[in-house]
Amino acid sequence: MDNSEDCIAQAPGVPETFTRHDEVEILKVSSKSRPKAVAGALATVAERDKKVILHAIGAGAVNQAVKAIAIARGFVAPRGIDLNTIIAFSSIEIEAAEGGTTERTGIKFFVEARSV
């Protein structure tokens, strides 16, 4: 289960437009994610929906997410779009292998496409 709504509402500096999940696409990034593939998905969704949230748990996943955002900015720049990013901590409940749930701290990247 994900406590996204609580984390988004509490994160300082996050625009209120990110509090409604029906308009926001959530992409999960792992340490094994290919940055170019994540960047392609991010660019596509950002152009269409304008708002995307990337979830990353762990240093490797955060590294891949940051690379993906940088690559995606290059993908959308020729079309006159810039990707603005706000970063915040989040608590995410993950189902444990032996049953039950475990709470982990992760990073959320709130990405919004804007015309330049």
pLDDT over 80 (residue 4) = no
Instruction: Give φ, ψ of 24 to 5 degrees.
Output: -120, 130
pLDDT in tens, 54-77: 999 999 999 999 999 999 999 999
Average pLDDT over residues 18-33: 81
* For residue 53, pLDDT beyond 90: yes
| Domains defined for the chain, CATH in brackets | 4-115 (3.30.110.20)
pLDDT tens profile 101-113: 889 899 999 999 9
Does 3 score more than 50 pLDDT? Answer: no
